[in-house]
Structure 1
Amino acid sequence: MLQAIGLTSAPYRGLPPAVDDLTFDARPGAVTALLGASGSGKTTALRLMLDIEPGRGITYFRGRPLHRIPHPAREVGVLLGDVPGHPARTARGQLRMLCAAAGVPASRADELLETVGLNGLGDQRIRTMSVGMDRRLGLASALLGDPHALILDDPGEGLSPREKSWLHGLLRAHAAQGGTVLYTTRDPKEAARAADHVVTIDAGRLVADQGNADFSRTRLRCRVAVRSPQAARLAAVVSREAREAQRSVEVVTEAGSRLSVYGSTCAEIGDAAFRHGVPVHQLADEVGDTGPLAADPAGPEAAPAAESSATDPEDAPRLVPLATSDPEPEPELPPEIRRRPARGPLQPVRYELRRLFGVRATTLIMAAVLVASVGLSVLLARTGSAPVPRVLAGWPSLLPLPPAALGAGLIGALSFGDEFRYPALAAGRGTVPRRLGLLVAKLLVSAGVALLLATLTVLASEEALHLVYGRDLFRVPANAASLGASWAGLTMGCAWAGLLAAGIFRVAAAGVAAVLAVPALVVPLVERVPAESTARSMLGLPARLRELAWVQWPDVVDRLVMAVVRLVANPVGAALSLSLSVLICAYVFTSLRGRVRW
């Protein structure tokens, strides 16, 4: 059971709320249509139900509000708008990534591709999909967690009649298994055709809450569809007998041999045809244009006939407000509740790995970094004036950062930048959740990629130098361990700076700018600090830490502590540490600010 109680959106600048005290139920085992014209508040109502839109009221999913459900993806499947997937990602890759977010096995992706009719198109890119294929992929995304309830915002928009028929069949199959289905539509005939229950709203307020039969009888115009080779004669007979009986009957001649009779019944028309010897090939009750979507067996001219009757101005729905006698005081709305943000992926590391390597951008960036680093290393070694660490890193003095650090920063920036640009996690939540697990997963994965990129850069540069200049060009320096730690810290720091900045400003360009700002702005500021402020020595720091600690650690820990101190004391290391500290504080502040409801 899905219960929406007192949904009221927050008004903007004195305007009336888009949804005003809306209350309705969607029962399990049935398809419920939320019907309304454009701008009536249907989408806003769904967003209020999903805790996306600010406002009042509450929605219970089988007796629990959404923020009290441990795994929302397993309780409710949502499709709002288009599929929020990266255009370069494949349909199978998109679903496998969302499988990690929903905490279901990756094999579920192939099962749903077959369910929605995309089993042969799993390797097709999202950008090449048609509207119908996009909607099918969106339905597969909503069904990943095998949810009990489906909430869909105009799922049939842009679909052909045949695709709409398939969609309605899928929704009915889900309801037949005991699930709850709620979808919005602007077409009353589609609601009468596909839904068991219709909730009609206008200007954000409830107009009618009816079953299918009551909705068809009171909101749509009933008719009798007749097909006869003597349609003109039958029309004259029915009209004459209606006038003689003083009944209000309207006969509309459609294309070909089709008639639409309003105000009569199949029995009356059949009796009249029998009395006058008029053959009848079809005689059926219809509500508006809710006949079958498939081609009529009587001939190809049936489809145009149905379309012509649908354009009849009297065939439009009549939204009659609920009968009211004396004005009653409006019921008091439930208090506004504090909504916790939705949970992040259940398997955040697996999700982040599939998100990162599901597109070619990561591989292309790493390949470009390796090629640039090797080329610069060969050129620097030829001059013979650059130090060994800069040669191996491919870092000429003209560049603010080596290619590996820039590449790691770009990959880190895309980690959150692509997340906000193509919000895969927003399919049911509206915004990317900044959960601690998701942030830790992104930090770990970006650090791992940065270390991999740093290691590959050094190894590739060394092999290239040995190939070009011979094996005796360089010797391993005595401080190789500290140099390696500095190199790893630089690449990881750039990756984290790009990631945090992109998470704060929600765009990848901000992450790249934060990485470039470290050598361009922060390092000069650090170098301007007077030398007297660093005159005191920190050589005794490990011994003093040992005195404060209860546990005596081995001597190797002392060497690691001093290596970290020297790394931070370096201008670039100090600038990077300062930048990361500021970005972490800013990220925490923006995350907490987003959770506070003023």
Structure 2
Amino acid sequence: MIQAIGLTSSPRKDLPPALDNVSFEARPGRVTALLGTHGAGKTTTVRLMLELQQGRGITYFRGRPLHSIAHPSHEVGVLLGDVPGHPARTVRGHLRMLCAAVGVPASRADDVLEAVGLVSLRDQRLGTLSRGMDRRLGLACALLADPHALVFDGPTVGLSAREGAWMQGALRAHATRGGTVLFTTDDPKEAARAADRVVTLDAGRLVADQDAADFARTRLRPRVAVRSPHAARLAALLAKEARSRRRAVEVVREGGSRLSVYGSTCGEVGETAFRHGILVHQLADEVGDAGPSGDAEGPLSSDGLRGTGSLGAEVRQRVLAVSEPGAERVDDVRNGPVSLTSAEAEATEEGADPPAPVAAAKDAQQRSQSPVASPEPSAVPEGSPDAGEATPRTPSPSPSPSSPARPPLSAPLPAPSPLPPPLATRAAPSPLRPLRYELHRITGVGTGYFTVAGVIAVSAVLCLLLARTGHTPQHYLLASWPEELPLPPAALGAGLLGALAFGEEYRHPALAADRGAVPRRLSFLTAKLAVAAITALLLAGLTVGCDAVLLHLVYGEELTKVPADWLSLSVSWVSLMVGCAWAGVLAAGIFRSTTAGLAAVLAVPIVVVPVVRKALEGASARSAVGFPGRLRHLTLVQWPFGIERFIAGALKAVAQPVGGALMLSLSALLGAYLLTAVRGRAR
């Protein structure tokens, strides 16, 4: 069960909050729809529930708030908009990466791919998927950890009728298995058809919390859909006749040649069109949204139109035309003009739905435009890559104006969409789980490979140019570090790779379902730091090795001799590379940007080093001159395995201005990251 209590968003300046004291429940085994127009507060509600946005109120998932759940993805599956993932990553690679993140076997990725019908697209890149396939992948990501609840924000927005019906069937299947389903929509008909309970929002406030049957009876209104090339004239005539007869008839112009007529019937609208010789292309009954009320939505305007209510009267759904039993409806103009008989006129006065008379077409081309209602989504053949292996829930036809708008709840439903089998056992927490995720993340796209190749190429060119001038020391030459640059290309590349570790998470938040764009867990931070250090070590070795080989081939052995203090130089080089990589990781995690992470790496030699030098060189009563030498004397103690040499090299690197500034920056960044992590958990 999901219990949202007093959800209120933080106000911005003098504006009222986008959401004000909203409380509702979504029960297990049922589908709950959160309904509202654009700007009503649906997305804000979902983000407050998932603790992705600051505000007041609390949401309980089976009695526990989300921040107290150790692994939120095991409790709630989330889909907010498009699938959050790098567009260059493959479908299967993305799912396997998430399997490592949530702690489920890698074979679970194949199970969910088969369930959502994406087996044939497992090697496709995320950036090449269509809208429907992207939503199927989002459902697969949400179902990976076999959560109890599903929370989807607009799961059918932009989908075709068939794809939308398939998604609704999948949500229904999850509820049938005992899960809790909550989704948002702005289409009242979709809410009435796909949900068991409808929670209606308007301007950030809760206005209704009803069963779907009550919602359909009280909030949906029957209407007549009309398409005519003379829609404005027909609207004016219908409004004029309504005023003369003192009847509450609303005529809503929906753009182009389409009208929606509330409070009338097909027979009355068709008779008016026939009497005045107006060509009609379509005349059909529909079930629309709440639309304008019959007596309190304002007077008719001069053009015969009336203002709409809070939910709006514009139809966003296809036409659902039905024929009443015992009545023959004329829905096209191919048979020429049709007049009302006396029996039909009596039926009209009694409120029945007689056949609709329409004007004759003027030419054969116009007569060929018969009004055909949009077909209902049919069952998709098994194994179809376009719609998966599920049979969608076909919506029931719209009722007549005299009958309730909600289809009978006892109507038989098609078989629900198949879902992946539930997890028999939960994987025990493992320290290698974040490390496996990070390895999948860094090897799944080509950004890291291109960065390493670019760094090696630039370093090789600089190495040859510096060797030709003959003014660069050997250790700077092997590192391709011109004295004019604050850092060598390899250090900048290591910082960029480290910044991508968190920067890609915020740009393409693969872990969005696990509470927040990036979970601020120390386990994930440790994994990112470890992988960044390994990557920096590989990049450092490749750069020096390639430069040495190139210098040997071009200039001979003179420039590639091993220096006497090679150990301390190696420690300094490795420390610089790892420090730059870690600075990129921490800065990107704090500022949520790859650019900010790389900027923090550049700030060390440009900003921090001059400040440190100025602080050390300033006038003072005592000086720390000789501190590196005294530290070096401490390492004369006999350490096992010659560790004192490595310690001496590390102390020498720290004693240098760049090394000291880098250590100072890393300490500040780590403290800031831990502070933000603690603050995020306290929230």
Is the Cα–Cα contact under 8 Å of residues 491 and 580 in structure 2 kept in the other structure?
Answer: yes
Q: Which amino acid aligns with 1:511?
A: G
Is the Cα–Cα contact under 8 Å of residues 329 and 354 in structure 2 kept in the other structure?
Answer: no
* Partner residue, 2:377: 293
TM-score by length of 2: 0.69
Q: Which amino acid aligns with 1:85?
A: G
* Partner residue, 2:356: 253
Between the aligned partners of 2:502 and 2:657, the Cα distance in structure 1 is 28
* Partner residue, 2:525: 439
Matched, 1:379 2:477: no
Residues 346, 133 of structure 1: CA spacing in aligned structure 2 closer, same or farther, 3 A cutoff? farther
Is the Cα–Cα contact under 8 Å of residues 608 and 661 in structure 2 kept in the other structure?
Answer: yes
User: Alpha-carbon deviations, 1:156-204, whole Å to 9, x = none?
Assistant: 0000111111111211221222211111111111112212222223233
Matched, 1:242 2:343: no
Is the Cα–Cα contact under 8 Å of residues 494 and 578 in structure 2 kept in the other structure?
Answer: yes
SS at match of 1:438: helix
* Partner residue, 2:451: 365
SS at match of 2:121: coil
Matched, 1:534 2:634: no
Is the Cα–Cα contact under 8 Å of residues 344 and 434 in structure 1 kept in the other structure?
Answer: no
Please state how far the C-alpha of 1:154 moved relative to its aligned partner: 0.9
Is the Cα–Cα contact under 8 Å of residues 462 and 480 in structure 2 kept in the other structure?
Answer: yes
SS at match of 2:553: helix
* Partner residue, 1:509: 595
* Partner residue, 1:118: 118
* Partner residue, 1:273: none
Between the aligned partners of 2:181 and 2:358, the Cα distance in structure 1 is 37
Between the aligned partners of 1:317 and 1:230, the Cα distance in structure 2 is 21
Which residues in structure 2 correspond to 1:295-444 (within 5 Å)? 347-427=433-513, 429-444=515-530
Which residues in structure 2 correspond to 1:256-275 (within 5 Å)? none
Between the aligned partners of 1:254 and 1:422, the Cα distance in structure 2 is 56
Please state how far the C-alpha of 1:75 moved relative to its aligned partner: 1.0
Please state how far the C-alpha of 1:237 moved relative to its aligned partner: 7.4
* Partner residue, 1:169: 169
Is the Cα–Cα contact under 8 Å of residues 220 and 316 in structure 1 kept in the other structure?
Answer: no
* Partner residue, 2:671: 585
SS at match of 1:401: coil
SS at match of 1:52: coil
Between the aligned partners of 2:458 and 2:600, the Cα distance in structure 1 is 22
Residues 542, 492 of structure 1: CA spacing in aligned structure 2 closer, same or farther, 3 A cutoff? same
SS at match of 2:119: coil
* Partner residue, 1:220: 220
Q: Which amino acid aligns with 2:347?
A: A
SS at match of 2:39: coil
* Partner residue, 1:278: none
* Partner residue, 2:608: 522
Gaps of 5+ in 1: 257-288, 296-308, 319-342
SS at match of 2:323: strand
SS at match of 1:561: helix
* Partner residue, 1:333: none
Which residues in structure 2 correspond to 1:176-187 (within 5 Å)? 176-187=176-187
Is the Cα–Cα contact under 8 Å of residues 190 and 290 in structure 1 kept in the other structure?
Answer: no
* Partner residue, 1:560: 646
Is the Cα–Cα contact under 8 Å of residues 2 and 60 in structure 1 kept in the other structure?
Answer: yes
Please state how far the C-alpha of 1:235 moved relative to its aligned partner: 7.5
Matched, 1:141 2:239: no
SS at match of 1:146: coil
* Partner residue, 1:337: none
Q: Which amino acid aligns with 1:535?
A: V
SS at match of 1:424: coil
Please state how far the C-alpha of 1:124 moved relative to its aligned partner: 2.1
Between the aligned partners of 2:442 and 2:133, the Cα distance in structure 1 is 24
Gaps of 5+ in 2: 223-284, 286-321, 331-337, 360-372, 380-396, 407-428
* Partner residue, 1:100: 100
Between the aligned partners of 1:57 and 1:500, the Cα distance in structure 2 is 31
Q: Which amino acid aligns with 2:463?
A: S
User: Alpha-carbon deviations, 1:195-231, whole Å to 9, x = none?
Assistant: 2222223233333333333333333246762489953
Is the Cα–Cα contact under 8 Å of residues 34 and 183 in structure 1 kept in the other structure?
Answer: yes
Q: Which amino acid aligns with 2:441?
A: R
Please state how far the C-alpha of 1:60 moved relative to its aligned partner: 2.3
Between the aligned partners of 1:238 and 1:213, the Cα distance in structure 2 is 34
* Partner residue, 1:299: none
Please state how far the C-alpha of 1:503 moved relative to its aligned partner: 2.2
Q: Which amino acid aligns with 2:442?
A: L
* Partner residue, 2:547: 461
SS at match of 1:17: coil
Q: Which amino acid aligns with 1:425?
A: L
Residues 163, 478 of structure 1: CA spacing in aligned structure 2 closer, same or farther, 3 A cutoff? same
Matched, 1:7 2:14: no
Residues 62, 590 of structure 1: CA spacing in aligned structure 2 closer, same or farther, 3 A cutoff? closer
TM-score by length of 1: 0.78
User: Alpha-carbon deviations, 1:251-299, whole Å to 9, x = none?
Assistant: 473999xxxxxxxxxxxxxxxxxxxxxxxxxxxxxxxx9993349xxxx
SS at match of 2:610: helix
Residues 16, 251 of structure 1: CA spacing in aligned structure 2 closer, same or farther, 3 A cutoff? farther
Residues 53, 584 of structure 1: CA spacing in aligned structure 2 closer, same or farther, 3 A cutoff? closer
User: Alpha-carbon deviations, 1:229-250, whole Å to 9, x = none?
Assistant: 953589857744535xx63334
Is the Cα–Cα contact under 8 Å of residues 83 and 427 in structure 1 kept in the other structure?
Answer: no
Between the aligned partners of 1:83 and 1:316, the Cα distance in structure 2 is 38
Is the Cα–Cα contact under 8 Å of residues 95 and 141 in structure 1 kept in the other structure?
Answer: yes
Residues 363, 71 of structure 1: CA spacing in aligned structure 2 closer, same or farther, 3 A cutoff? same
- Measured on the aligned residues, the alpha-carbon RMSD in Å equals 3.7
* Partner residue, 1:207: 207
Between the aligned partners of 2:52 and 2:580, the Cα distance in structure 1 is 33
SS at match of 2:213: helix
Between the aligned partners of 1:369 and 1:595, the Cα distance in structure 2 is 38
Between the aligned partners of 2:431 and 2:53, the Cα distance in structure 1 is 21
User: Alpha-carbon deviations, 1:430-465, whole Å to 9, x = none?
Assistant: 432222122211111111100010011122222223
Residues 178, 557 of structure 1: CA spacing in aligned structure 2 closer, same or farther, 3 A cutoff? same
Please state how far the C-alpha of 1:372 moved relative to its aligned partner: 1.8
Q: Which amino acid aligns with 1:446?
A: A
Moved more, 247-256 or 217-226: 247-256
Matched, 1:28 2:112: no
Residues 435, 252 of structure 1: CA spacing in aligned structure 2 closer, same or farther, 3 A cutoff? farther
SS at match of 1:181: strand
Is the Cα–Cα contact under 8 Å of residues 374 and 394 in structure 1 kept in the other structure?
Answer: yes
Is the Cα–Cα contact under 8 Å of residues 86 and 422 in structure 1 kept in the other structure?
Answer: yes
SS at match of 1:253: coil
* Partner residue, 1:274: none
Is the Cα–Cα contact under 8 Å of residues 29 and 178 in structure 2 kept in the other structure?
Answer: yes
Matched, 1:474 2:599: no
User: Alpha-carbon deviations, 1:15-61, whole Å to 9, x = none?
Assistant: 44333333322222222211222222222222222222333333222
Q: Which amino acid aligns with 2:123?
A: D
Matched, 1:569 2:648: no
Residues 555, 354 of structure 1: CA spacing in aligned structure 2 closer, same or farther, 3 A cutoff? closer
Matched, 1:498 2:584: yes
Matched, 1:483 2:573: no
Q: Which amino acid aligns with 2:519?
A: P
Is the Cα–Cα contact under 8 Å of residues 76 and 149 in structure 1 kept in the other structure?
Answer: yes
